[in-house]
Amino acid sequence: MIEHFTYTVKGSGPGLLLAHGGGGGAEPNFGPLMPDLARTHTVVAPDLPGSGATPRSAEPLDLDTVADTLVATALDAGVERFTILGYSLGTGVAVRAATRHPERVAGLVLTAGFARMNNRMRLAVRVWRDLLDGDRELLAHFLTLMATGDPALERLSPSELADSVAGLAGFVPAGTPEQVRLVEGVDTTAELAGIRVPTLVVAATLDRLASPELSRELAAGIPGAELVEVESGHLVAAEAPEEWGAAVRGFLDRHR
């Protein structure tokens, strides 16, 4: 594993480290929130191996190493203590980072996340992984079906839906296979009770990929965690950026 991920830094103030989802990237997963977050925080936005400008890993990814490298990335950016804003797979990375580096992690915001997969997610991720080796348009149809909430999906005209699927088919980071395998290996359930930093869990109530029950399980397992629910599918940045941003902003302002 490389010493640190490729990253961008925006803003100034207390540290805020981003951990994106599997098959995503810092800008696609957090872009709508970053301008506001950078008003008050030093936002370190890394890309996992095979996303953005970070080279693809030649080896399978493991959660410990990814969490350690994420923390090393913040240190390389000059940020020594930080809140981690994790999305989807990034919530597992964030929890593991807090477990392994408690002196560095000041807080957690866990969005559309999970400590372990349930059977629905296990089935969906298996299909996702298998489709990566085949028809990318079929993969995009599947991910659109699983990751988009019904209201957002039904607002699209047939031509807009076709354009959206085509755009998604063209956006598959090279490191997606390794990142999806990492999703399958996440299990931080035994670590939750040991988290001792302020934590906000944001559940997406229309999420069919990482169902809201998994976010509620995260919140129930972490002592003192706050739970906020937003009406959105898994693609929170696209479907509910204002509601998500307001929840994150409120938490950060309370715990600066």
Do 142 and 127 meet the contact criterion of CB atoms below 8 Å apart? yes
State the pLDDT at residue 211.
Answer: 97
Task: Tell me the C-alpha distance between 38 and 2, whole Å.
Answer: 27
Compute CA 53 distance to the chain's CA centroid, rounded to the nearest angstrom: 18
DSSP state letter for 3: S
Nearest to 114 by CA among 146, 148, 85, 91: 91
Domains of the chain are 7-119+173-254 (3.40.50.1820)
What is each CA distance from 179 to 22, 65, 158, 164, in whole angstroms?
Answer: 5, 13, 31, 22
Sheet strands (E) in the chain = 7-10, 15-19, 42-46, 82-87, 105-111, 199-204, 226-230
Parallel, antiparallel, or unpaired: how do β-strands 7-10 and 42-46 relate?
antiparallel
- Collapsing DSSP states into helix, strand and coil, what is residue 43? strand
Determine the pLDDT at residue 256. 81
Distance CA(68)–CA(51), nearest Å, equals 18
| pTM > 0.75: yes or no | yes
Q: How far apart are CA 183 and CA 56, in angstroms?
A: 16
User: Radius of gyration (Cα) for the chain, nearest Å?
Assistant: 17
Instruction: Give the pLDDT score at 2.
Output: 76
Q: If 0-12 CB within 10 Å is exposed, 13-18 middle and 19+ buried, where does residue 156 land?
A: middle
> Whole-angstrom Cα distance, residue 91 to residue 188?
10
β-pair type (15-19, 82-87) = parallel
Task: Give the pLDDT confidence score for residue 35 in this predicted structure.
Answer: 97
Which residue, 122, 1, 112, is CA-closest to 50? 1
- The Cα-based distances of 209 to 124, 177, 201, 205, 238 in angstroms read 7, 17, 17, 11, 15
Question: Residue 230 gets which letter from DSSP?
Answer: E
pLDDT at 1: 63
How is residue 159 written in tokens? 């031509």
User: What is the rounded distance in angstroms from the CA atom of residue 81 to the CA atom of residue 256?
Assistant: 12
Confidence (pLDDT) at 3: 86
Q: What is the pLDDT along the chain (256 residues), one digit of tens a residue?
A: 678 999 999 999 999 999 999 999 999 999 999 999 999 999 999 999 999 999 999 999 999 999 999 999 999 999 999 999 999 999 999 999 999 999 999 999 999 999 999 999 999 999 999 999 889 999 999 999 999 999 999 999 999 999 999 999 999 999 999 999 999 999 999 999 999 999 999 999 999 999 999 999 999 999 999 999 999 999 999 999 999 999 999 999 999 8
